[in-house]
């Protein structure tokens, strides 16, 4: 088949603020992957194209890139899945990381965040003679996160990291979950406490699902983050804006059948947290000027009784 690869070029010596794309049309087998096409371009058409790869089997995680706008492994993505004969596929470096050259990104910020969650087992008590035994069930539970190959696809497309580089990101939080859930680790409480209270920790995920969508190994980092939130709450870590936000959201919809946005903002900040409440004042004034200020007293929806019934039915089921 003939395929055109529209490849984003970046040379640090001649970099411009505007992304430059170069098109390469090649003839290649129908079973080829995007990575195969880029390697062919590199070997036969333009040796200056830079990319990273190793295993070519979805194992090492080196070939992550944006393909038609979403992060994916180049070696796992078949050309025919994206384009017919004569079609065009756009490839770019992963997002949320600085580009070194063409498709090669600097992963230092990614590794810094992984390191920040202490990604290793921490045990206590006397060393056993052979090994620390864990049940099959507890190990099976870890399989989702253990499958992570650190490709950075989730990091690349994380919509929170795009606006807030302090967020730990999906990969690091999924890695943290892996040790929180490991019965051999003796520091689960400290880990939960740290991730619960640190700025950029578990409560900063906005549940956009993008990390779940792009992860090539079905780690589903967002689900792991939600499980850690639940674990943090169960262990009494409730004095955070994130927990208060969740609780306020739950209660106001239960009571009124709709969200009370004014109350949500104040509850999340904390009624006694004067500096944070003062921080909200300019937002409130700007919203008022634009006619966007939510009502100060909540309006109940017409169907609020039905919403309450739904809540009660779910609450009774989970008892």
- Residue 225: both structure tokens together: 């983050």
- Classify the phi-psi angles of 86: left when phi > 0, otherwise alpha if psi is within -120 to 50, otherwise beta: left
Helices (H) and strands (E) in the chain, counts: 14, 7
User: Is 148 one of the binding residues for ligand FES (CB under 6 A)?
Assistant: no
CB contact at 8 A, 229 and 202: yes
Q: Which is nearer to ligand FES, 33 or 248 (CB)?
A: 33
Least separation in angstroms between CB 54 and ligand FES: 5
| Positive or negative torsion for Cα 107, 110, 114, 116 | positive
Question: Over the range 94-124, which residues count as b (16 or more CB within 10 Å of their CB) and which as e?
Answer: bbbbebebbbbbebebbeebbebbbeeeeee
Is 67 strand, coil or helix?
strand
Query: Which among 8, 6, 172 is positioned nearest to 103, based on CA atoms?
Result: 8
Q: Mark the segment that binds ligand FES (CB under 6 A) among 9-17, 56-64, 239-247, 248-256.
A: 56-64
- Classify the phi-psi angles of 102: left when phi > 0, otherwise alpha if psi is within -120 to 50, otherwise beta: left
Q: Which H or E run contains 74?
A: none
Tell me the number of residues near ligand FES by CB under 6 A: 12
Q: Mark the segment that binds ligand FES (CB under 6 A) among 60-68, 105-113, 223-231, 274-282.
A: 60-68
User: Is 63 one of the binding residues for ligand FES (CB under 6 A)?
Assistant: yes
User: Is 56 one of the binding residues for ligand FES (CB under 6 A)?
Assistant: yes
Q: Indicate which single residue of 9, 34, 41, 53 sits in contact with ligand FES (rule: CB under 6 A).
A: 53
Least separation in angstroms between CB 142 and ligand FES: 21
User: Is 255 one of the binding residues for ligand FES (CB under 6 A)?
Assistant: no
User: Is 186 one of the binding residues for ligand FES (CB under 6 A)?
Assistant: no
Region 67-96 residues binding ligand FES, contact defined as CB under 6 A: 73, 75
Q: Mark the segment that binds ligand FES (CB under 6 A) among 58-66, 137-145, 202-210, 263-271.
A: 58-66
User: Is 59 one of the binding residues for ligand FES (CB under 6 A)?
Assistant: yes
Instruction: Measure the CA–CA gap between 74 and 152, rounded to whole angstroms.
Output: 13
Instruction: Measure the CA–CA gap between 286 and 61, rounded to whole angstroms.
Output: 45
Least separation in angstroms between CB 20 and ligand FES: 25
User: Is 239 one of the binding residues for ligand FES (CB under 6 A)?
Assistant: no
Q: Indicate which single residue of 15, 19, 45, 55 sits in contact with ligand FES (rule: CB under 6 A).
A: 55
Least separation in angstroms between CB 33 and ligand FES: 9
User: Is 32 one of the binding residues for ligand FES (CB under 6 A)?
Assistant: no
Residue ranges in contact with ligand FES by CB under 6 A:
53-56, 58-63, 73, 75
């Amino acid at each position: 088949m003939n395929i055109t690869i529209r490849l984003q070029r970046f040379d640090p010596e001649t970099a411009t603020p505007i992304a430059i794309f170069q098109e390469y049309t090649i003839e290649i087998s129908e079973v080829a992957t995007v990575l195969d096409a880029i390697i062919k371009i590199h070997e036969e058409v333009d040796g200056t194209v830079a990319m990273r790869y190793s295993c070519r089997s979805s194992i090492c995680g080196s070939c992550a890139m944006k393909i038609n706008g979403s992060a994916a492994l180049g070696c796992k993505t078949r050309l025919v899945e994206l384009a017919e004969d004569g079609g065009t596929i756009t490839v770019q470096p992963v997002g949320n990381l600085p580009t070194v050259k063409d498709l090669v990104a600097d992963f230092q910020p990614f590794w810094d965040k992984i390191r920040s969650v202490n990604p290793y087992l921490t045990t206590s008590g006397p060393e056993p003679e052979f090994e620390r035994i864990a049940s099959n069930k507890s190990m099976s539970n870890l399989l989702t996160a253990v499958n992570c190959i650190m490709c950075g696809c989730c990091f690349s497309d994380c919509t929170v990291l795009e606006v807030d580089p302090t967020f730990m990101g999906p990969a690091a939080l999924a890695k943290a979950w892996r040790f929180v859930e490991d019965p051999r680790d003796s520091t689960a409480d400290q880990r939960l406490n740290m991730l619960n209270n640190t700025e950029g920790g578990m409560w900063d995920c906005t549940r956009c699902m993008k990390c779940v969508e792009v992860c090539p190994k079905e780690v589903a980092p967002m689900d792991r983050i939600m499980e850690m939130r639940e674990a943090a709450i169960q262990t009494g870590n409730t004095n955070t804006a994130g927990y208060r936000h969740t609780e306020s959201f739950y209660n106001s919809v239960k009571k009124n059948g709709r969200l009370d946005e004014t109350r949500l903002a104040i509850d999340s900040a904390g009624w006694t947290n004067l500096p944070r409440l003062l921080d909200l004042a300019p937002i409130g004034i700007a919203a008022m000027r634009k006619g966007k200020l939510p009502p100060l007293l909540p309006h109940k929806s017409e169907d609020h009784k039905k919403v309450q019934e739904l809540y009660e039915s779910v609450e009774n089921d989970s008892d």
